[in-house]
């Protein structure tokens, strides 16, 4: 059994304090086997700390790595949807990093739907579909950038037939592989 810290620091707190490393070091001191960052916006902050955390023996993994990697490996075209531009910015960087790691180049576009704050359930999911546009390429997959959007994935899959990737589909497969290698 592994002790895994779940790190979910609001982005505004990170910007104000610039202290992401403190909870990571605390996790190491407490004997954590790994740290999973559960906020997609933190990807840009997580990347520079990975080498340091690996040196300490406590791998750091970002929740958006797995779904970005899967989308890139399984599709030629990607439409990322985010309801917050800061999330789009960070997840775009994760996709670009994964492209470099995998040696791939995919056609990508980002959609930030408007007027979604008061929507929920199927209405929210339908608004996401509508925001992609009627002329969307049928071979284009959809990446829902934020974990809070993941609930819409099933509706979008059912109503569009598209592959949809979310943070909750497979949040820890990469981390599990790292832990497996760590314990060999």
Pair 75, 133 in one domain: yes
Q: Please state which of the ranges 15-24, 82-91, 93-102 shows the lowest mean pLDDT.
A: 15-24
Give the C-alpha separation, 116 to 83, whole Å: 8
pLDDT given at position 121 = 94
Q: What is the pLDDT of residue 169?
A: 84
pLDDT at residue 162 in the model: 93
Q: Is the pLDDT of residue 2 over 50?
A: no
Q: Answer yes or no: is pLDDT of 181 > 90.
A: no
Mean pLDDT in residue range 161-172:
87
Claim to verify: residue 73 and residue 47 sit in the same structural domain: no
Which pLDDT does position 141 carry in this prediction? 95
State the residue range of the domain holding 47: 4-63+170-182
Shared domain for 130 and 59, answered yes or no, is no
CATH number at residue 152: 3.40.50.1860
Total domains in the fold of the chain: 2
Say if residue 71 is in the same domain as residue 53.
no
Which runs of consecutive H residues, i.e. helices, occur in 30-108?
A: 43-56, 64-74, 85-102
Contact 88, 146 (CB under 8 A): no
Judge if 46 and 84 occupy the same domain: no
Residue 84 sits in the same domain as residue 143: yes
What mean pLDDT value characterizes the chain? 84
Q: Pick the closest to residue 143 from 74, 56, 50 (CA basis).
A: 74
Asked if residue 113 lies in contact with residue 146, where contact means CB atoms within 8 angstroms, the answer is no
Q: Averaged over 36-59, what is the pLDDT?
A: 83
Same domain, 174 and 146: no
| CA pair distance 73, 39, nearest whole angstrom | 22
Q: Which of 84, 82, 94, 4 is nearest to 43 (CA)?
A: 94
- Compute the 3-state secondary structure of the chain and give helix, strand, coil in percent, each to the nearest 5: 55, 15, 30
Q: What is the pLDDT of residue 29?
A: 85
Residues 16 and 75 reside in one and the same domain? no
- Asked if pLDDT for residue 13 goes beyond 70, the answer is no
Question: Is there a single domain that holds both residue 75 and residue 31?
Answer: no
CA-CA distance, 75 to 83, in Å (whole number)?
A: 22
Same domain, 69 and 160: yes
Claim to verify: residue 177 and residue 143 sit in the same structural domain: no
CB atoms within 10 A of CB 112: 15
Chain centroid to Cα 20, Å, comes to 17
Whether the model clears a pTM of 0.85, i.e. scores above it, the answer is no
Confidence (pLDDT) at 15: 44
- Please write the tens of the pLDDT for every residue from 107-149: 999 999 999 989 999 999 999 999 998 667 878 999 999 989 9
Average pLDDT over residues 32-58: 83
Residue 156 and residue 76 share a domain: yes
Q: Say how many C-beta atoms besides its own lie within 10 A of residue 89's C-beta.
A: 15
């Amino acid at each position: 059994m592994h002790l895994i810290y779940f790190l979910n620091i609001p982005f505004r707190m990170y910007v104000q304090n610039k202290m992401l490393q403190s909870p990571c070091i605390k996790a190491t001191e407490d004997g954590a086997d790994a740290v999973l960052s559960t906020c997609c916006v933190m990807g840009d902050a997580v990347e520079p700390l990975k080498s340091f955390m690996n040196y300490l023996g406590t791998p750091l993994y970002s929740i958006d790595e797995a779904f970005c990697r899967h989308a890139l490996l399984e599709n030629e075209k990607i439409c990322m949807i985010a309801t917050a531009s800061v999330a789009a910015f960070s997840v775009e960087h994760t996709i670009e990093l994964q492209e470099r790691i995998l040696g791939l180049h995919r056609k990508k576009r980002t959609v930030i739907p408007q007027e979604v704050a008061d929507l929920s359930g199927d209405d929210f999911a339908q608004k996401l579909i509508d925001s992609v546009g009627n002329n969307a390429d049928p071979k284009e997959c959809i990446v829902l950038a934020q974990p809070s959007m993941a609930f819409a994935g099933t509706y979008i899959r059912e109503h569009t037939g598209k592959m949809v990737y979310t943070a909750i589909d497979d949040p820890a497969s990469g981390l599990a592989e790292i832990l497996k290698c760590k314990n060999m």
